Amino acid sequence: MTAAKPKAWLARLLLALLMTVTLLPFLSMFTAALAPSGSYPNGLSWPDDPQWNNFVKAFEAANMGQLLLSSTLIVLGVVPISVLAATMAGYGLAKLTGGRNKWIYLVFVAGLTLPFEAVITPLYYEVRAFGLLNTRFAIILPLIGLYMPFSVYWMRAHFLNVPNDLTEAAQLDGATRWKEFWLVQVPLARPAIMSLTILLFLWTWNQFLLPVVLVRDPSLRTMAGALGAFQGQWGTDVPLLCAGSLLILAPTVLLFLVFQRHFVAALLQGSVKG
Amino acid sequence: MAGLKLQDVRKNFGAVEVIKGVDLEVEHGEFVVFVGPSGCGKSTLLRMVAGLEETTSGRIEIGGRLVNNVEPRDRGVAMVFQSYALYPHMSVYDNVGFGLKLAGTPRDERDAKIRAAARVLQMEHLLDRKPAQLSGGQRQRVAIGRAIVREPDVFLFDEPLSNLDAALRVDMRMELARLHTDLGATMIYVTHDQVEAMTLADKIVVLQGGIVQQVGSPLELYNRPANLFVAGFIGSPKMNFIEVTVDGTTNDGVRVANSLLASPALVGQRQGMAPSDTLTLGVRPHALQLDDTGPIGGAVTLVERLGNETIVRVRLDAATEITAALAGQREIALGEPVRLGFEPVDAHLFAADGRRL
């Protein structure tokens, strides 16, 4: 008991420290967002005259309403298809391929090692060749492809853990592969599907590089991609940039609050299954 | 409902042959048990009948129909797995009814069948629960219910009781026997437990190394084991084996001797042997009795008092011990010298190649 107490305090101190380190940038962004537009606020100083309407200005300057819609469309284009394809592929790789075809899975693993930034230039020419430059498809289609290695890996890991007896029981019960997949495997995979959905949503929402490179019209980009709007020809409006960033963060924070339980599960799953 | 026929059925996993040519006929309504030690191929053989393992060669017929290339779902079989394999996300009701739902059975009919199966298995109160909320025995009941509602031609059981505790296993064993009587269906049951095999089976198939050692009724196997393996596998405690040489024949049988035996023993068997042949004498522990003039003598090394009987281990020499199951409660002390005898008809002789003579 007496030995545990100092340890507990030490743990709390560490947690508090970590929390401060994590929160400081946000606090700094928040105070900076309240500084007069066009100024260069420094550090953590609370402005004398907080400019709350910076948020309104940022919302209007970056055309946030339009961007919110655009981001939503992109997320809706990317996430359901990715999750569906990854679930089917994961099941196929875990349960239906064996022996000589096991190597197929390694192709996806190879995809995992590919850094995003390395493919951006070839991607640009490819998207241009398809004539999709400057459309939302320029973001949606590459993202689906880029997410596949991780997503398939994730779902395969789940399906590997489902006992084969269940598959066999379903087969003997008269299920075709397709019915077994939808009626037995998918309901059981719900936690894995849920966490994958959340992760893909976050990554899509925060996608910055791809929209900036492949789409010139900011109203077709994701919200994060719209941050470029605050980098003018003659400099950057720091307070508006900060206010805009906070606005962009808001939906993910809201989502987190709603799906908190699943988020934690998603992260734990990652830690176990690697 | 239908019988089952296997003709020279073989199975290879890569280069390894695990089922080495099995021939078997199962009549309609028979309860057949595949029994053998782990790795003997009994589960593989069952899974081949179910269609979960491909058959490398040979014919498998269910109800007179060749099913080698028929999908598991179209073979008219239902299987109960060792792990139960219940769908964790469905209630008991939906688990039992899943096969019927897939078959497109109308809702009313489905409901009636599910409830009838639940009644048979006394699990009507469990229908709304999820598998996770059930005990092992209840889960096994659900798994059996799932098989019953499909009204299959052949029921397949893959070690269904081995995950249950000892007391429950005895209960479920009796229930399975009752179920077989009630349904009159063909059942094939895999187990490594020879007691389950003896109590449940109409016909036992003893397998070892992918080869059928013997097929027969429980008592046939007990009384006339075809070879040393079956003799040692069927019966508990295990049969005692002592190497002996043929000493001579009399009107009552053959006399065998060995330096371990206190005196030559008489076995009620006369055919297939010549004087001075080396044979193996097999005597079941329950055939041995205390007998001051008996051929087997040694010091007691272990006494187990079970109440209805007393199991004693007797050391003949440093390497050989035999087991005797003596009826009733006996006053025997550790280290005490005893003499044991047996009726000539209760002993078995096996040739050098293991065959029973």
Give pLDDT, residue B270.
67
CB B63 within 8 A of CB B76: yes
| A95, A164, A173: best to mutate for the B interface, most B CBs within 10 A | A173
Task: Please report, rounded to a whole number, the percentage of residues in chain A having pLDDT higher than 90.
Answer: 32
Q: Using the predicted structure, report yes or no on whether residue A270 has a pLDDT greater than 70.
A: no
CB A86 within 8 A of CB A196: yes
User: Region B8-33: what's the mean pLDDT?
Assistant: 92
| B260 and B343 assigned to the same domain | yes
Q: What percent of chain B has pLDDT over 90?
A: 59
- Kindly report the nearest CA distance between residue B342 and chain A, in angstroms: 49
Tell whether B146 lies on the interface with A, counting CB pairs under 8 A. yes
Q: Name the residue in chain B with its Cα closest to that of A179.
A: B102
Which of A171, A174, A188 minimises the CB distance to B88?
A: A188
Residue B222 shares a structural domain with residue B250: no
> For A149-163, A224-238, B38-52, which range has the lowest pLDDT when averaged over its residues?
A224-238
In whole angstroms, give the CA distance from residue A82 to residue A72: 15
Same domain, B189 and B223: yes
Residues A114-138: what's their mean pLDDT? 88
Residues of B in contact with A184 (CB under 8 A): 87
**At residue B120, does pLDDT exceed 70?**
yes
Residue B302 pLDDT grade (very low, low, confident, very high; cuts 50, 70, 90):
very high
DSSP state of B346: G
Q: Which residues of A touch B103 (CB under 8 A)?
A: 174
User: Hey, is the C-beta of A64 within 8 angstroms of any chain B C-beta?
Assistant: no
Q: What separation in angstroms does the CA of B100 have from each of A174, B73, B79, B187?
A: 9, 12, 15, 20
Average pLDDT over residues A208-217: 84
Q: Is residue B126 part of a domain?
A: yes
Report if residue B70 sits inside a domain.
yes
Nearest-CB residue to A171 (from B73, B83, B88): B73
- The minimal CB distance from B73 to the residues A172, A187, A190 is found for A172
Same domain, residue pair B306 and B205 = no
Instruction: Say yes or no: B54 and B184 in one domain.
Output: yes
Residue range(s) defining the domain that contains residue B169: 4-233
Average pLDDT over every residue of B35-60: 92
Query: Which pairs count as long-range contacts for A125-133, CB under 8 Å and 24+ apart, including other chains?
Result: A127/A214, A133/A214, A133/A215, A133/A216
| Predicted ipTM beyond 0.90 | no
Residues of B in contact with A179 (CB under 8 A): 102
Q: What CATH code is carried by the domain that includes residue B100?
A: 3.40.50.300
Partner B, chain A 147-166, Cβ-Cβ below 8 Å:
163, 165-166
In a domain, B355, yes or no: no
> Does B97 lie in the same domain as B16?
yes
Which band of pLDDT confidence, cut at 50, 70 and 90, is reported for residue A273? very low
The reply to whether B254 and B211 lie within a common domain is no
Residue after which a domain boundary falls, among B214, B233, B252: B233
Q: How many domains does chain B have?
A: 2
Does any CB of chain A come closer than 8 Å to the CB of residue B54? no
Would you state the pLDDT for residue B317? 85
Q: Which of A166, A175, A188 sits opposite B102 (nearest CB)?
A: A175
Q: Tens digits of per-residue pLDDT, B121-138?
A: 888 999 999 998 998 889
Is the pLDDT at A114 greater than 90, yes or no?
Answer: no
Per-residue pLDDT for B49 more than 80?
Answer: yes
pLDDT at A43 over 90: no
Task: Check the CA dihedral B82-B87-B92-B95 and report its sign.
Answer: negative
Where along chain A do its domains lie?
55-273
Is B83's Cβ below 8 Å from some Cβ in A? Answer: yes
Task: Pick A172's closest partner by Cβ from B79, B86, B87.
Answer: B79
The answer to whether residues B16 and B134 belong to one domain is yes
Domain final residue, candidates B233, B250, B274: B233
Between CA A74 and CA A200 the distance in angstroms is 11
Nearest Cα of chain A lies from the Cα of B78 at a distance, in angstroms, of: 6
Residue B357 is assigned to a structural domain of this protein: no
Cα distances (angstroms) measured from residue A89 to each of A151, A203, B295, B306: 9, 20, 71, 58
B106 and B211 part of one domain: yes
B79 and chain A in contact, CB less than 8 A:
yes
Sign of CA dihedral B297, B300, B302, B308: positive
Q: Pick from B71, B83, B99: which is nearest to A173 by CB?
A: B99
Same structural domain for residues B169 and B304? no
- What is residue A272's predicted lDDT score, i.e. its pLDDT? 37
| pLDDT exceeds 70 at position B168 | yes
Please, which residues 310-339 of chain B have a Cβ atom closer than 8 Å to chain A?
Answer: none
Q: Chain A contact for B203, CB < 8 A?
A: no
Q: Answer with the one of B233, B261, B290 that is the final residue of a domain.
A: B233
- CB of A175 within 8 Å of a chain B CB? The answer is yes
Answer whether A186 touches B (CB < 8 Å). no
Considering only A75-79, B17-21, B269-273, B346-350, which range has the smallest mean pLDDT?
Answer: B269-273
What pTM does this model have? 0.80
CB A251 within 8 A of CB A62: no
CATH of domain A55-273: 1.10.3720.10
**Which residue type occupies B99?**
G
Report yes or no: A189 and A103 within 8 Å, Cβ to Cβ.
Answer: no
Residue B189 lies in a domain: yes
DSSP A111-123: HHTS-GGGGHHHH
Residue-wise pLDDT for A148-157, tens only, equals 999 999 999 9
The pair of structure tokens assigned to A132 is: 């999709």
Residues in chain A: 274
Q: d(Cα B242, Cα B265) in Å, to the nearest integer?
A: 11
Asked if residue B229 belongs to a domain, the reply is yes
Question: Are residues B248 and B177 part of one domain?
Answer: no
Same domain, B162 and B100: yes
Domain assignment of residue B255, yes or no: yes
Identify which of B268, B278, B264, B280 has the alpha carbon closest to the alpha carbon of residue B322.
Answer: B280
| Interchain proximity A173–B73, CB inside 8 Å | yes
Chain B interface, best mutation among A100, A172, A180, by max B CB count within 10 A: A172
- Selected residue with higher pLDDT from B306 and B168: B306
CATH of the domain at B290: 2.40.50.140
* Averaged pLDDT score across all residues of chain A: 84
CB contact under 8 A, A184 and B102: no
| Interface contact A188-B89, CB threshold 8 A | yes
